[in-house]
Amino acid sequence: AQTVTQSQPEMSVQEAETVTLSCTYDTSESDYYLFWYKQPPSRQMILVIRQEAYKQQNATENRFSVNFQKAAKSFSLKISDSQLGDAAMYFCAYRSDNQGGKLIFGQGTELSVKP
């Protein structure tokens, strides 16, 4: 069974600085998708960034980028120029074409941004 591990329950960053959230996963599949979701307190979970495993190029969305290391099964999220609005719980998630499209989540990393 696939598993996703986020080893940092909490992280803190100064406004305007850069922070990296870690995620590792375990799978025997070769084709899959990885995601980072953001969940602000009492608010909707939204997609931050997505990576297809067959793509070697790391995904980037504005201030958010990933470092995808397929062989190491690592998928970290870098947030540049951190803003107060980035404060939230961040979930790393795995999805394959099997298992009914099920999203498997890590335990989450609570990110706080200091002004």
Residues that bind other proteins (CB under 8 A): 33, 35, 37, 42-47, 50, 52, 91, 95, 97, 100-103, 105-108
Distances (CA, A) of 92 to 63, 89, 104, 114: 17, 10, 8, 23
Whole-angstrom Cα distance, residue 6 to residue 21? Answer: 8
Distances (CA, A) of 98 to 6, 31, 35, 76: 23, 10, 16, 23
Q: How far is the CB of 47 from other proteins (least distance, A)?
A: 5
**Max Cα-Cα span within the chain:** 43
Under DSSP, the state recorded for 58 is P
Whole-angstrom Cα distance, residue 1 to residue 39? Answer: 25
Residue with Cβ nearer other proteins (56 or 115)? 56
Residue with Cβ nearer other proteins (100 or 115)? 100
Residue with Cβ nearer other proteins (14 or 107)? 107
Residue with Cβ nearer other proteins (18 or 111)? 111
Q: How far is the CB of 16 from other proteins (least distance, A)?
A: 28
Q: How far is the CB of 42 from other proteins (least distance, A)?
A: 8
Q: How far is the CB of 19 from other proteins (least distance, A)?
A: 20
